[in-house]
Amino acid sequence: MRLDREKDALIVVDLQHDFLPGGALAVGDGDAIIEPIARLAPAFGTVVATQDWHPRGHVSFASAHAGRRPFETAALPQGPQELWPDHCVQGTRGAALHEGVPDAAVTLVLRKGTRREVDSYSAFRENVGPDGGRPTTGLGAWLAARGVRRVFVVGLARDFCVRATAADAVAEGLEAVVLDDLTRAVFPERSAETDAALARAGVERATAGDLER
């Protein structure tokens, strides 16, 4: 799979301290992908780093729902909402991108999940909000303006924000490829479900070793 530096973009999803070992919502083995992503990033002319950036009391926090615990699912008016430990709170160290994310290669840092009442897994659109809509982040138009036609998605976590970002990229008219070896999952035992969801969305899968620069 040959890379086109001008028409391909790398989307690095949520490499933040709270999702890494020792963090509030640590993804197992998440730190193992930081260095290989940093080596890959300079091969792209466009690199987007996403960042969960939640206000205190965010709808995705179990602590915002009386009597609920992390990893439960709450039935909200807009639909099911996974509940998590408080994480990536705006301005905290846990919300900061890991120092291994190659700042010199990053073209855009996109913050998501910034509204208290709406979660946002995808880099392209928020989750369904109380009004039933999924507002765009503007990333699709921004990439189109730069001439990007294909995105490679890496980062954390494969079964949530990586999956949603890749699926929404296809919905935006882009080709999308998830580099499996440069992702890690919250629930790796459910990988078959994630694989099926990616396939239904028209997302390709590959590994970093499949890429020709």
Catalytic sites, residue numbers = 14, 112, 161
**DSSP 3-state of 47:** strand
**Whether the bond into 157 is cis, omega within 30 of 0:** yes
The upper half-sphere exposure of residue 89, i.e. CA atoms within 13 Å in the direction of its Cβ, equals 12
Q: Look at the alpha carbons of 26, 99, 59, 168 in this order and tell me if their dihedral is positive or negative.
A: negative
Angle between helices 191-201 and 163-171 (to 10 degrees): 10
Which spans in the chain are helix H? Answer: 34-40, 139-145, 163-171, 191-201
